[in-house]
C-alpha cells in the first residue's frame, strides 16, 4: 500500500494550515474525504439529482437505483445476510437512538437492565438514559481494567436475570481498546440478551462481518469512513427490524394510510421516513469502493504499524502519559502531558499544522474514572505516516518548551 499515492487522493492535503503542511491526526472525530467522494456528490447534484422512491420519471428511477446500489454495497462490505437489514440514518447517533427508542417501546419493562461499559461514547449512553427517565430502566456499567480494556469477565459479572440489552462499543475512541464482540454476543445470546454495537470506530478500522459477529444491531458512522457527513448506517437483524415499531413517521415509510388506520412499508422503508440524504448515500458507495481498493487487511496492517511506532516514541517522551494499554488497540493514541492542559497541547500543535483533538471526546464517564478532566488524542487514517507521528512528537516537545518543562 503506497501511502503517498493514497494521500494524493485527498484534496485537503494540498492546502496549507498555518503556512504548514497539514498533519491530520483527528480521524476518530471525522476522516477526510477522497476526491472520488467529493466528485460523486457534485456529479449527482449537477447531473443526476432527483428524490428517490417516489416518482417514476427517468431521473427519479436512476437516483433510486443508485441509492439502492449503495445499500447492496454496504450489505456486502459488512457481510449482512440480507440487504434489507441495512437502514440509512442521519448518522450513527440516530441509529443508536432508533434502536433504544424502538426496543424501549417493544420489549423493555420498568426495572429491566441495560448493560453498557465505562468506555461508551455519549451517543451509546444518553439514548438509554432517556429510557431510564421515561420507563424506569436501570443502567449498569461494566468496568474497565487497569489497561483501559473491558475483559469479558467484567461484562459477565454484571449480567442478571433483569439484563435485556448489552450496548457496547466495538473500538474505544479514547483507549483504542478493541472489544471481543463475537464472544460477548455468544455470552449474551446464551442468556437471551440483545446486543447493540456502537461501530463508529470499528467501521473504518476493522474487518466487519455481521454474520460472524452475530450481534443484533450495529451502528456505523459514514463520515468516519471517508464518506459524507449527515449519514449513518444501522445494521439490524431482519427478525428485529420486522418486529420493532417505526422510529419516525412520514412519507416513504408507509404502505397504506386511511383515516382510521395506517400500515407500514416493508423493510427497510419502514425506518427511512421522509426525504433521505440521497447524495450522501450515493457518494458513500465511492467510500466503500475506496476502502475496498486498498483492502481492509492492508488498512489494519498499516495502522497497527503506526500505532506501535507512535506508542514507542511517545513512551520515550518524558512527561507524556499514554491512556490505556489494551490487549488489542485500534488507531487511537490518547495521552496527557504533565503540566500542560490538553487544550493548550492542541493549540500549540495547531500552530505547526498538526491537527489533534483535545477534550473528553464525548466520554466523560471514562475521564471521570481516570481522574482527568480531558485528554489529547491523535487518531489515524489511511493517509497517515510515521513522519506524521514524528511531527506530533516534535510538537509535544515544543509544548514542553513553551511551558518550561523538562
Q: Give the Cα separation of 134 and 110 in Å (integer).
A: 9
Q: 135 is written with which cell numbers?
A: 420507563
Q: How far is CA 130 from CA 47, 86, 123, 125, 126, in A?
A: 43, 25, 11, 9, 6
* Model pLDDT, residue 404: 87
Relative orientation angle of helices 386-402 and 342-350, to the nearest 10 degrees = 120
- Domains of the chain in start order, with CATH, are 3-30+296-402 (3.90.1150.10), 38-292 (3.40.640.10)
Catalytic residues: 362
Strands 357-359 and 86-89: unpaired
359 φ, ψ (degrees, to nearest 5)? 145, -155
Contact in structure between 286 and 36 (CB atoms under 8 Å): yes
**Residue with grid cell 467510500, as numbered in its chain:** 287
- Asked whether 253 and 264 are in contact (CB, 8 A), the reply is yes
- At 140 the pLDDT is 98
CA distance 249 to 116: 29
One pLDDT digit (tens) per residue for the chain, 406 residues: 677 789 999 999 999 998 999 999 999 999 999 999 999 999 999 999 999 988 999 999 999 999 999 999 999 999 999 999 999 999 999 999 999 999 999 999 999 999 999 999 999 999 999 999 999 999 999 999 999 999 999 999 999 999 999 999 999 999 999 999 999 999 999 999 999 999 999 999 999 999 999 999 999 999 999 999 999 999 999 999 999 999 999 999 999 999 999 999 999 999 999 999 999 999 999 999 999 999 999 999 999 999 999 999 999 998 899 999 999 999 999 999 999 999 999 999 999 999 999 999 999 999 999 999 999 999 999 999 999 999 999 999 999 999 988 7
The confidence score (pLDDT) of residue 307 equals 97
* Residue 2 confidence (pLDDT): 79
Amino acid at each position: 500500500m503506497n501511502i503517498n499515492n493514497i494521500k494524493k487522493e485527498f484534496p485537503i492535503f494540498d492546502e496549507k494550515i498555518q503556512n504548514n503542511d497539514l498533519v491530520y491526526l483527528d480521524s476518530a472525530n471525522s476522516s477526510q474525504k477522497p476526491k472520488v467522494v467529493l466528485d460523486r456528490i457534485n456529479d449527482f447534484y449537477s447531473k443526476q439529482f432527483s428524490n428517490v422512491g417516489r416518482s417514476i420519471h427517468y431521473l427519479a428511477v436512476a437516483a433510486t437505483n443508485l441509492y439502492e446500489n449503495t445499500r447492496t454495497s454496504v450489505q456486502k462490505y459488512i457481510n449482512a445476510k440480507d440487504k434489507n437489514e441495512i437502514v440509512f440514518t442521519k448518522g450513527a447517533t440516530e441509529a443508536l437512538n432508533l434502536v433504544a427508542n424502538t426496543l424501549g417501546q417493544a420489549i423493555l419493562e420498568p426495572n429491566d437492565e441495560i448493560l453498557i461499559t465505562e468506555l461508551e461514547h455519549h451517543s451509546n449512553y444518553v439514548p438509554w438514559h432517556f429510557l431510564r427517565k421515561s420507563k424506569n430502566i436501570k443502567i449498569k456499567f461494566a468496568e474497565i481494567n487497569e489497561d483501559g480494556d473491558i475483559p469479558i469477565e467484567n461484562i459477565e459479572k454484571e449480567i442478571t436475570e433483569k439484563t435485556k440489552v448489552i450496548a457496547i462499543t466495538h473500538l474505544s475512541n479514547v483507549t483504542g481498546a478493541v472489544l471481543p464482540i463475537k464472544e460477548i454476543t455468544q455470552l449474551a445470546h446464551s442468556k437471551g440478551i440483545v446486543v447493540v454495537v456502537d461501530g463508529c470506530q470499528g467501521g473504518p478500522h476493522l474487518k466487519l462481518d455481521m454474520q460472524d459477529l452475530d450481534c443484533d444491531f450495529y451502528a456505523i458512522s459514514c463520515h468516519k469512513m471517508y464518506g459524507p457527513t449527515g449519514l449513518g448506517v444501522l445494521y439490524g437483524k431482519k427478525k428485529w427490524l420486522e418486529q420493532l415499531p417505526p422510529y419516525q413517521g412520514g412519507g416513504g415509510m408507509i404502505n397504506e394510510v386511511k383515516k382510521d388506520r395506517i400500515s407500514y412499508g416493508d423493510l427497510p422503508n419502514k425506518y427511512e421516513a421522509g426525504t433521505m440524504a440521497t447524495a450522501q448515500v450515493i457518494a458513500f458507495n465511492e467510500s466503500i469502493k475506496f476502502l475496498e481498493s486498498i483492502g481492509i487487511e492492508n488498512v489494519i496492517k498499516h495502522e497497527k504499524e503506526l500505532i506501535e511506532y507512535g506508542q514507542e516514541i511517545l513512551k520515550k517522551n518524558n512527561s507524556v502519559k499514554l491512556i490505556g494499554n489494551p490487549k488489542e488497540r485500534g488507531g487511537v493514541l490518547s495521552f496527557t502531558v504533565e503540566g500542560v492542559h490538553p487544550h493548550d497541547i492542541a493549540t500549540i500543535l495547531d500552530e505547526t499544522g498538526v491537527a489533534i483533538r483535545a477534550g473528553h471526546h464525548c466520554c466523560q464517564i471514562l475521564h471521570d474514572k481516570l481522574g482527568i478532566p480531558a485528554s489529547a488524542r491523535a487518531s489515524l487514517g489511511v493517509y497517515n505516516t510515521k513522519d506524521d507521528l514524528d511531527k506530533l512528537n516534535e510538537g509535544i516537545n515544543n509544548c514542553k518548551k513553551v511551558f518550561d518543562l523538562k
